[in-house]
Structure 1
Amino acid sequence: MDFMALLGIGLLTGVTTALFGFGGGFVAVPVVVWADAALGPDAMRVAVATSALVMVVNAGFATAVTPRRTLAALRGGGPLLALLAAGAAAGAFAVRYAPAGPVRWAFLGYLALTIADLALRPGFLRPHPRPRPRPLADTTAPARGPLPAALGLPIGAVAAFLGVGGSVLTVPAMRRAGHPMRLATVLANPLTLVMTLPATAVSLGGTVDSAAAQAHAQLVGLVDLRAAGALLLGALPVIALLRRRPPHIPDRAHAWAYLALLCVMTAAMAFAG
């Protein structure tokens, strides 16, 4: 896959980061598997590691350009953030030693189960008739964070192990907690950042087969810098534009678009090399 193709796909990761909270993970993984097919069994591990770096930058940039009033919804979420980071570090260590084939099938299996859950179980496409969370401007209510802290460890571990970044887990959970899609997808970015920082640090210390590494001189640890650079070059301008001028998307249509995007990328991963 050439640089211009990666750049074009980077534009897509910018859109998914800004509109759906996907820092690039479930988009970047199948793309890097294709781009690094010459690595053979190591391609999946390199894809997960490269995805983590792309998500650090994308999610960090998206968080930096998000209004502070919106980020105030994270107040009280310190324990959640700490457990997300701890779980991500554990998941990143685990994927370094896991066989590539099972990781790939676990990635596909998780996305398939998520799609079925979102489509069939009430609470995502058909929100529960429950009270909404307190408004962001309400500073008198106790701060509880966007999700229960107990979910941090398993979400962080699964996200880092599969390279999905966490938004595939956090957005549905926040949606079912009563958050509108607009807020859930925006808050997914700082949560993704917390998870991908330790995962990236661990990935930079990994190695692949020496012969395959010589054919891919851009590898630093398990990270393909060429693929990551192209994806980021395409993504960052799009994130800046959509954060400055976000489109108005009705909440229900936003949820359906999120589900459709998951279906597209699951199919892409199924046909990746």
Structure 2
Amino acid sequence: MSLLILAVLGCMTGVTTVLFGFGGGFVAVPLVYHLLIASHAPGEVGYDAAMQIAVGTSTAVMVINASMATFKQHRAGRLVGGFIWPLVGYIAVGAVGGAMLGSAMTSDAVRAGFIAYLGLTIADCMIRKGFLRTSDASPRRLGAAPFKGVAIGVVAALLGVGGSVMTVPLLRRSGLSMAQALALANPLSLPVALAGSLMYGAMGPLQTPGLHSGLLGYIYLPAFVLLSIGSVIGVRVALPLAGKIPDRLHARIYIGLLALAGLGLAFK
């Protein structure tokens, strides 16, 4: 895969970060995974640990995406108060555990978990009330924040998706619009990005000695750099569109993108 394609798809991670709160994970994970298995043979670390490397790289790119998007969303006044603290702290704790769990699993197990979780989330969003159409009632605070935060952190760091796949439906059912929920997904992805990047970067060499040049632990540096450059451009391009997509259409597009991400990993 050419460097140009990586940079262009990096722009997509920036766009999805702003418009859908994904932090780039739903683009970066399938992309890096297919890049690695196409360039390595079974038995090589780049093939056998492809999902861990894809997830580790995704969390590193997410640091850039989520930080920039959070700053921009804050300046635009789109962050609803009362939904970040203390949830963000519990997410960070869970992210450490999720990264440790992901490094201990096989690549195929992480891949299967990614696909299965997306399938369950799509079904939940479509079947259970409160996502496709939110109520007109005032937003209500989240209950059981410690449990929910830790669970979000574990799943997000394990799968490299930034937590938006859990936080957006959760916030949506708390009475927030899609624009509000997606804006909050960016700061809530930061603890996953930071904790996950540190853990995947540190644990890779311990779990899989002999990683070839270009990898820092489970972070694939060439992909990280190019995806990050593209993502900065994508964030800037998408910001003028934030909050302007009709609410129900926004929710439907969100589900459609989850389905595309799952299909992207369903086939080798």
Instruction: With the length of structure 1 as denominator, give the TM-score of the two structures.
Output: 0.88
Match of 1:252 among 248, 256, 267: 248
Q: Is the 8 A contact 1:80 1:147 kept in 2?
A: no
| Whole-angstrom distance in 2 between the partners of 1:247 and 1:68 | 14
2:261 — aligned with what?
A: 265
**For 1:167, which of 155, 160, 164 is the aligned residue?**
164
Q: Which amino acid aligns with 1:5?
A: I
Tell me how far 1:68 sits from its aligned partner: 4.3
Give the match for residue 54 of structure 2. 47
Aligned to 2:89: 82
- In structure 1, the gaps of 5 or more residues are 135-143
- Which has the higher mean CA deviation after the structures are superposed, 178-187 or 229-238? 229-238
Which letter does structure 2 place at the counterpart of 1:106?
Answer: G
> What is the rounded CA distance, in whole Å, between the counterparts of 1:73 and 1:150 in structure 2?
21
2:180 is aligned with 1:183: yes
1: CA distance, partners of 2:118 / 2:200: 22
Rounded to whole Å, the distance in 2 between the matches of 1:93 and 1:57 is 22
The Cα offsets for residues 145-187 of structure 1, whole Å up to 9 and x where unpaired, read as 7984431011101111111110011001111111000010011
Change (3 A) 1:210 1:195: closer
Across the two proteins, how many residue pairs are aligned to each other?
Answer: 259
Runs of 5+ unmatched residues, structure 2: 41-45
Q: Is the 8 A contact 2:179 2:243 kept in 1?
A: no
- In structure 1, what is the Cα distance between the partners aligned to 2:209 and 2:100? 20
What per-residue deviation string (whole Å, max 9, x for no partner) do you get for residues 100-143 of structure 1? 2111101100001111111111111133x451327xxxxxxxxx
Distance in 1 between residues matched to 2:144 and 2:188, nearest whole Å: 10
**Any conservation in 2 of the 1:24–1:55 contact (CA below 8 Å)?**
yes
C-alpha deviation, 1:237, in angstroms:
1.5
Kept in 2, the 8 Å contact 1:42–1:100? The answer is: yes
Q: CA RMSD in A?
A: 2.0
Check the 8 A contact 1:49/1:223 in 2, yes or no.
Answer: yes
**Do the aligned residues in 1 keep the contact of 2:90 with 2:149 (CA within 8 Å)?**
yes
The whole-number CA distance in structure 2 between the counterparts of 1:121 and 1:245 is 28
What does residue 35 of structure 1 align with? Answer: 35
* Residues 1:17 and 2:17 aligned together: yes
On the 8 A contact 2:51/2:110 being kept in 1, the answer is yes
SS in 1 for 2:22: coil
8 Å contact from structure 1 (residues 73, 145) kept in 2: no
User: 1:266: how far off?
Assistant: 0.8
Return the TM-score normalized by structure 2. Answer: 0.90
Q: How does 1:1-273 map to 2 (within 5 A)?
A: 1-37=1-37, 38=40, 39-68=46-75, 70=77, 73-75=80-82, 77-127=84-134, 129=135, 131-133=137-139, 144=141, 148-205=145-202, 206-207=204-205, 209-210=208-209, 213-214=211-212, 217-244=213-240, 246=242, 248-271=244-267, 273=268
TM-superposed deviation, 1:210:
4.7
Q: Secondary structure at the match of 1:65?
A: helix
Aligned partner letter, 1:73: V
Task: Please give the secondary structure, in 1, of the residue aligned with 2:10.
Answer: helix
Residue aligned with 1:170, SS: helix
* Alpha carbons of structure 1 residues 193 and 170: separation in structure 2 relative to 1, 3 Å: same
Change (3 A) 1:147 1:15: farther
